[in-house]
């Protein structure tokens, strides 16, 4: 008479009530990201604010190497690329219609291996100072990745700033760029800070051990928890995106279906990551530590608040695999560039892969009780 379904629904409902009775959780998951978003958007996204990632590209070499490099630029989602002749692009740059101009010099391929093979980046001097580092960072990052593919000597970068002759015209506002960061911050707080740590405390309290003496199937337990946390993240999504659109003037270009799918896959994989952390950790202290170890770098390194290119080289490989990066990039592709489902396929794949790995870790390591 008491089916699995009823247990499941009751468990989800109780979990939700407990979640929202925890004021600290509500603070970190809703209040804190919203406050940060409002503070930064109001501080940075004012009248003269706005960041354009329009970059011109000139290929003076025309070699195999330079063509590969051009292809790499084309694949970089955050750059709106304009290819053409040096003269006209330079004029655009000076007029502020471009924020940067990348010049691949003649003889790039020929000089490879003899050192000094550098590409040139010209920057528009009139850009909002907050975003000055953004394009160099993106280009740096691109080069780091590109250099891994070519041997023997890596390409370098020379940078120059070009004095403005006019203000930029088209712009992506800061809120459009940063919205997914604040959303991700909220979702990660639910999945990692609450999710993993709550579970670890329930083990410490021997509550999980007690559940282990009851005819409750672990799959019921975990799926109810997953659904509960997912509901919380959906609420976060609605609140954060809703307020960003209504109060801060954020614009979403792309399709809501692609966005919803990306959000669902991302959110679930972060929730599973929380479970894996709790299952893997032997003590609650370890779980808190691990959750922080994943939360902080993901928030700081995944291009959420600082451009990834600004980070030191040894961190680059870590940043490239952290799943948040794929969530943020995918989100921006949709909302800024209007990308469709097909274009964010790889992002969905990586996120789902992380989720699957975390699920396997949870299955492998979870026990109701730890052997003392």
Partner 1 sequence: MPEKVTARGLWKSYGEVRALKGISFSIEEGEIFGLLGPNGAGKTTAVEIIEGLRRADSGEVIIDGERVRPGLNPEMKQKMGVQLQEAQFYDKIKVWELLDLFGSYHRRALPVRELLELVGLEDKANSHVEKLSGGQKRRLSLAAALVNDPELVFLDEPTTGLDPQARRRLWDLIKEMKAQRRTVLLTTHYIEEAESLCDRVGIIDLGQMVALDTPENLIRNSGLESAVTLSYAGELDLDGLKALAAVRALKPSDRQRVRVESTDVNLFLRELFRRFDDVAIERLERPNLEDVFLALTGKELRE
Instruction: Return the residue matching tokens 């990308």.
Output: 339
Structure tokens given for 167? 């203000």
Of 84, 125, 212, 255, the one binding partner 1 (CB under 8 A) is: 212
Least separation in angstroms between CB 209 and partner 1:
6
The strand pair at 100-104 and 118-124 is best described as antiparallel
What Rg, from alpha-carbon coordinates, does the chain have? 23
Least separation in angstroms between CB 5 and partner 1:
11
Of 24, 163, 170, 213, the one binding partner 1 (CB under 8 A) is: 213
Residue closer to partner 1, measured from CB, 74 or 217: 217
Which burial class, exposed, middle or buried, applies to 239 when counting CB atoms under 10 A from its CB (0-12, 13-18, 19+)? Answer: middle
Residues with Cβ within 8 Å of residue 254, at least 6 apart in sequence? 333, 334, 335, 337, 338, 339, 340
Whether 339 contacts 258, CB under 8 Å: yes
| Stretch binding partner 1 (CB under 8 A), from 9-17, 161-169, 252-260, 263-271 | 9-17
Count CB-CB contacts under 10 A for residue 195: 29
Structure tokens given for 159? 């940078």
Q: How many helices (H) and strands (E) does the chain have?
A: 15, 5
Does the footprint of partner 1 cover residue 18 (CB under 8 A)?
A: yes
Does the footprint of partner 1 cover residue 368 (CB under 8 A)?
A: yes
Does the footprint of partner 1 cover residue 26 (CB under 8 A)?
A: no
Number of residues that bind partner 1 (CB under 8 A): 28
Residue closer to partner 1, measured from CB, 21 or 114: 21
Per CB under 8 A, contacts with partner 1 among 288-317 are none
Q: What is the full DSSP assignment across 235-291?
A: HHHHHHHHHHHHHH-----S-HHHHHHHHHHHHHHHHHHHHHHHHH-SSHHHHHHHH
CA 283/CA 244 separation, integer angstroms: 39
Of 149, 151, 163, 214, the one binding partner 1 (CB under 8 A) is: 214
Least separation in angstroms between CB 369 and partner 1:
6
Rounded to whole angstroms, what are the CA distances from 9 to 6, 56, 85, 175, 281? Answer: 5, 55, 63, 37, 28
Least separation in angstroms between CB 220 and partner 1:
9
Of 43, 91, 107, 205, the one binding partner 1 (CB under 8 A) is: 205
Q: What is the DSSP letter of 194?
A: I
Residue closer to partner 1, measured from CB, 3 or 129: 3
| Stretch binding partner 1 (CB under 8 A), from 119-127, 212-220, 324-332, 343-351 | 212-220
Least separation in angstroms between CB 240 and partner 1:
25
Name the phi and psi angles at 237, rounded to 5. -60, -45
Does the footprint of partner 1 cover residue 7 (CB under 8 A)?
A: yes
Does the footprint of partner 1 cover residue 202 (CB under 8 A)?
A: yes
Structure tokens given for 101? 């101009």
Of 74, 206, 282, 364, the one binding partner 1 (CB under 8 A) is: 206
| Stretch binding partner 1 (CB under 8 A), from 4-12, 47-55, 151-159, 189-197 | 4-12
Residues that bind partner 1 (CB under 8 A): 1-2, 6-7, 10-11, 14, 17-18, 21-22, 202, 205-207, 209-217, 368-369, 371-372
């Amino acid at each position: 008479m008491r089916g699995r379904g009823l247990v499941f629904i009751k468990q989800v409902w109780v979990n939700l009530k407990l979640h929202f009775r925890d004021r600290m959780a509500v603070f970190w998951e809703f209040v804190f990201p919203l406050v940060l978003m409002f503070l930064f958007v109001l501080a940075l996204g004012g009248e003269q604010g706005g960041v354009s990632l329009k970059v011109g590209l000139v290929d003076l070499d025309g070699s195999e190497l330079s063509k590969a490099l051009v292809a790499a630029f084309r694949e970089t989602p955050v750059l709106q690329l304009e290819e053409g002749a040096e003269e006209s692009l330079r004029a655009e740059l000076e007029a502020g219609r471009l924020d940067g101009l990348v010049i691949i010099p003649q003889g790039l391929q020929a000089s490879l291996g003899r050192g000094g093979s550098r590409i040139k980046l010209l920057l528009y001097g009139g850009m909002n100072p907050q975003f000055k580092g953004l394009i160099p960072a993106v280009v740096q990052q691109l080069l780091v990745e590109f250099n891994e593919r070519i041997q023997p000597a890596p390409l370098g970068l020379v940078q120059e700033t070009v004095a403005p002759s006019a203000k930029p015209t088209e712009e992506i506002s800061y809120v459009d760029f940063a919205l997914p960061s604040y959303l991700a911050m909220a979702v990660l707080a639910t999945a990692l800070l609450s999710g993993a740590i709550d579970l670890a405390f329930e083990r410490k309290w021997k509550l999980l051990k007690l559940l282990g003496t009851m005819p409750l199937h672990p799959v019921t337990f975990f799926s109810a928890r997953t659904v509960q946390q997912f509901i919380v993240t959906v609420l976060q999504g609605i609140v954060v995106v809703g307020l960003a659109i209504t109060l801060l003037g954020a614009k979403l270009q792309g399709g809501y279906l692609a966005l919803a799918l990306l959000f669902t896959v991302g959110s679930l994989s972060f929730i599973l990551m929380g479970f894996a952390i709790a299952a893997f950790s032997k003590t609650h202290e370890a779980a808190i530590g691990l959750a922080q170890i994943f939360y902080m770098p993901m928030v700081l390194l995944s291009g959420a608040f600082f451009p990834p290119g600004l980070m030191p080289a040894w961190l680059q490989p870590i940043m490239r695999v952290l799943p948040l990066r794929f969530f943020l990039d995918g989100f921006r592709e949709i909302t800024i560039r209007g990308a469709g489902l097909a274009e964010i396929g790889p992002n969905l794949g990586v996120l789902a892969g992380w989720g699957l790995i975390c699920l396997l870790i949870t299955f492998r390591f979870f026990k109701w009780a730890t052997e003392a």
